[in-house]
Amino acid sequence: MATKFNGLHFINPLRPIEGDGTCASYGPASGKMATLVIATQREITAAGIETILHAAGYRVAARCACEDDLVRSLDAYRPDIIMLAENIVEREATRTVSRLRARNCPVAMIFLLEEHGAIAASDLVNLDVEGILLSGTCATSFIDCVRSVRHGGKWIDPDLFRQLAITERPSQIPRSLSPREADIAHHISRGLHNKQIARELHLSEGTVKMHLHHIYEKLRLSSRMQLALSMTSGARKVVSR
């Protein structure tokens, strides 16, 4: 059940139910139920996201339709994660994220991208968020992203990787990379996971991880997200965090 106050939708916490009718345990491994705030102008989208999150054991504290509402919710609830839709920030994604970060609230952010062509790959690289999702992604990818971000990881929608690989000309492979490292970097840009890369290149998963570590060091990158986006023609400059 939700109540509305000053433009905010406050959601009472619900206990998720498993398929066999029993009460599910809350999702986060830490034992503390993670709290999220959803920021999007699309009410139906917000309701769908809320349903998926509750089913996976997460709590939605508020749904916001504008940046001012989001700021108030951030101060009031101190959520673990913000789901920030592109329609809230419009053409000022980087500035909006920076303003939210400046409030000194240790919150993770997942950016909901409505269509991949709306923001250049270079802007996505420099966007200070922990996750990027296409708004039409499947529920499984959605929860995978939230879970990864909740545990301190970085996550980007595999479908976004694939779309960038199709529509944008790959950038020139840095000369500092070995042929094997270049192969792995290319596969990362296609959205493949380490296990898939290992299978395609006939390597062990441990060897792929070792090469990735060397790639990050050579290119001065800090995440898989930065590597993948930097492999597109639009990402000419990568800013390490």
Instruction: Return the pLDDT at 94.
Output: 85
pLDDT band (50, 70, 90) for residue 122: low
Burial of 145 (0-12, 13-18, 19+ CB in 10 A): buried
Higher pLDDT, 46 or 119: 46
pLDDT band (50, 70, 90) for residue 170: low
Which residue do the tokens 């592109």 mark?
A: 86
Q: Please state, in angstroms and rounded to a whole number, the distance separating the CA atoms of residues 124 and 194.
A: 22
pLDDT band (50, 70, 90) for residue 241: very low
Higher pLDDT, 175 or 233: 175
Using alpha carbons only, give the angle 220, 99, 161 rounded to the nearest 5 degrees. Answer: 45
Which residue type sits at 12? N
Q: What number is the average pLDDT over the span 74-87?
A: 93
Instruction: Return the pLDDT at 39.
Output: 96
- List, for residues 126-150, the tens digit of each pLDDT value: 788 999 998 888 899 889 999 989 9
Question: Beta 35-39 vs 2-5: how paired, if at all?
Answer: unpaired
Average pLDDT, the chain: 78
Instruction: Return the pLDDT at 221.
Output: 82
Tokens linked to 226 = 């930065």
Helix (H) or strand (E) holding 219: helix 205-219
Structural domains in the chain, CATH included, are 2-157 (3.40.50.2300), 168-230 (1.10.10.10)
Tokens linked to 113 = 């991208």
Tokens linked to 31 = 């034992």
Higher pLDDT, 157 or 6: 157
Higher pLDDT, 9 or 224: 224
Q: What number is the average pLDDT over the span 205-222?
A: 90
CB 3: neighbour CB atoms within 10 A? 9
Instruction: Return the pLDDT at 240.
Output: 35
Question: Beta 35-39 vs 81-85: how paired, if at all?
Answer: parallel
- List, for residues 25-70, the tens digit of each pLDDT value: 334 444 578 999 999 999 999 999 999 999 999 999 999 999 999 9
- List, for residues 87-118, the tens digit of each pLDDT value: 998 778 888 998 998 886 789 999 998 865 55
pTM, two decimals, is: 0.67
Higher pLDDT, 129 or 241: 129
Using alpha carbons only, give the angle 155, 130, 192 rounded to the nearest 5 degrees. Answer: 15
Question: Beta 59-64 vs 8-11: how paired, if at all?
Answer: antiparallel
Any idea how long the chain is? 241
Helix (H) or strand (E) holding 112: strand 108-113
Q: Please state, in angstroms and rounded to a whole number, the distance separating the CA atoms of residues 179 and 191.
A: 19
- Report how far apart the first and last C-alpha atoms of the chain are (Å, whole number): 40
